[in-house]
Structure 1
Amino acid sequence: MTDTQKSPFDPNPPRRNFYGRRQGKTLRRSQKGYLSEDLGELRPKGISIEENPERRAIDPVSIFGDDRPIWLEVGFGGGEHMVHMAATYPEIGILGCEPFINGVAMLLGKIRAAGVSNVSVYPGDARDVMDVMPDNSISRAFLMYPDPWPKARHHRRRFVTPEHLLPLARVMRPGAEFRVATDIPDYVRQTLEEVPLAGFDLVREGPEPWEDWISTRYEQKALREGRAPHYVTFRRQG
């Protein structure tokens, strides 16, 4: 593994800008109830700056209480994919990150309805999680329909940039799978260019989804508007 492929654990990462919305339309009463009643129990401890100002590495066992494999979903949107994966693979634990509180509330409602228990929810930036997870602690990662940031001057805000990909590579186990789904051709281009540079090998890419895929609300919107979904799979080198 070369220095360009791995970003060493940094106990004092720099403060960063956050781009995007934290909250949208007013939450329904039921959604407010999910947040007040369920989020505290599902939220992993020691990840936020407030809980861990020194940014010490956490013990992954603390998230689910055992040493099961942990999968990471970056920006889970409305939570359809995350809950589907949790129900399909009850033996693993899925940690989802989403700063948009409306999406968090939607996910919590789906978790209640599905009755899944192998989930952990961080209502914030995925970079906070990658700051404190130890090396080789994530067994699979998902980036499903990320914010496209379509304007050229905003492409540096996309997740598929070294700022995000190098820390992701650090926390992923050798051989771990990284899945990306998007309906934006230029996002596909940047993904195929940037992800291998961070220490991943391309496994497959094209219009056919994975066998365990579930179509999300963002994908359905893309299809209604005439945009073709694209699915890309990488494997962590090592």
Structure 2
Amino acid sequence: MPDNEGSRAAGAFFGRRQGKPLRPRQASAMDEVLPALSLDLDRPAPATLADLFDVPVDAVRLEIGFGGGEHLLHETERFPRTGSIGVEPFVGGMAKFIVAASEAGRKNVRLHDDDATRLLDWLPEAGLSGIDLFYPDPWPKKRHWKRRFVNDDNLDRFARVMRPGARFRFASDIGHYVDWTLLHIRRHPEFEWIAASADDWRRPYEGWPGTRYEAKAKREGRMPAYLTFVRR
């Protein structure tokens, strides 16, 4: 993601929210579909997250910063009995996803189009079976590292809302951010890195559909790392 500090919301972990103008179909979906799928954080969160969905679900997962939604859409199809909550503040990505989700008739998804920390603070304790954070903005300049989503406070948030045994998955093509994440995880008492060999972080996740961003990174010679951590 580009570094657009001047256009981001104060204190947020993301950059710009608006890019190219939306196509008419996307704009219509934002007006008509997004309100029905958006979570209302001004109301108390349900004690049971399954109650957020219009179809029966056995577990609920969260994907933070889903980009164009390739993975999120793929997961909602693979696991119809799992509820997915997707967070994406970038308008173009959200619009692309809701058009695709609407056309596919997805019912097991809810959305949040602002800062993920507010959502994390809203969610009940131990309600999530997993959290995915794929290719987050690396904020490459050292003075901006405080904007990286992986930090001690956010790992505390993750630990509060994840069930014991739940998995936090992190993918990035930026080696320094991968190292940063491992350092933060290793000093956090509630998470454990479960890799036993190099193949465990070099190999994509089971059923991984790939993303356009990932394909671009590989073309440019940046190889991703796929990390998995378990909530103790």
The interval holding the TM-score normalised by the smaller chain is 0.7 to 0.9
CA distance in 2, matches of 1:221, 1:67: 34
Q: How many residues matched?
A: 216
**2:12 is equivalent to residue 27 of structure 1:** no
Identify unmatched segments of 5+ residues in structure 2: 1-8
8 Å CA contact 1:130–1:167 kept in 2: the answer is yes
| SS of equivalent to 2:117 | helix
Percentage of identical aligned residues: 43
Q: For the structure 1 residues 113 and 67, does the alpha-carbon distance in structure 2 shift closer, same or farther, using more than 3 Å as the test?
A: closer
The alignment's TM-score, normalised by the length of structure 2, stands at 0.88
Alpha carbons 2:68, 2:96 under 8 Å: kept: yes
- Indicate conservation of the 8 Å contact 1:79/1:106, yes or no: yes
Q: What is the SS of the residue equivalent to 1:195?
A: helix
Q: Distance in 2 between matches of 1:148 and 1:116?
A: 31
Q: Is the 8 A contact 1:177 1:236 kept in 2?
A: yes
Find runs of 4+ consecutive structure 1 residues off by over 6 angstroms: none
Counterpart residue number, 2:220: 225
- Report what 2:180 is aligned to: 190
CA contact (8 A) 1:178 1:233 kept: yes
The structure, 1 or 2, with the larger RCO (C-alpha pairs under 8 Å, 6+ apart) is 1
1:17 pairs with 2:11 = yes
| Aligned residues of 2:50 and 2:83 also touching (Cα < 8 A) | no
Aligned 8 A contact 1:76 1:97 in 2: yes
Q: If the length of structure 1 is used for normalisation, what is the TM-score?
A: 0.85
Which secondary structure state, in structure 2, belongs to the residue aligned with residue 178 of structure 1?
strand
Alignment root-mean-square deviation, CA:
1.7
Matched residue, 2:210: 215
User: 2:142 aligned to 143, 152, 164, which one?
Assistant: 152
Instruction: Return the letter of the residue paired with 1:17.
Output: G
- Asked if structure 2 preserves the Cα contact closer than 8 Å seen for 1:206 and 1:231, the reply is yes
Question: What SS does the aligned partner of 2:187 have?
Answer: helix
Take 1:41 and 1:176, find their aligned partners in 2: how far apart are those partners?
28
Look up the match of 1:203: 194
Q: In the TM superposition, what are the counterparts of 1:1-238 in structure 2 within 5 Å?
A: 17-18=11-12, 19-45=14-40, 47=41, 51-52=42-43, 56-59=44-47, 60-65=49-54, 68-198=58-188, 199-204=190-195, 205-237=200-232
Instruction: Output one character per residue of 1:80-112: Cα deviation in whole Å (capped at 9) or x when no partner.
Output: 000000100001100001111111101112212
Q: Structure 1: how far apart are the matches of 2:110 and 2:123?
A: 14
Which sits farther off after the overlay, 200-209 or 60-69? 60-69
SS in 2 for 1:166: helix
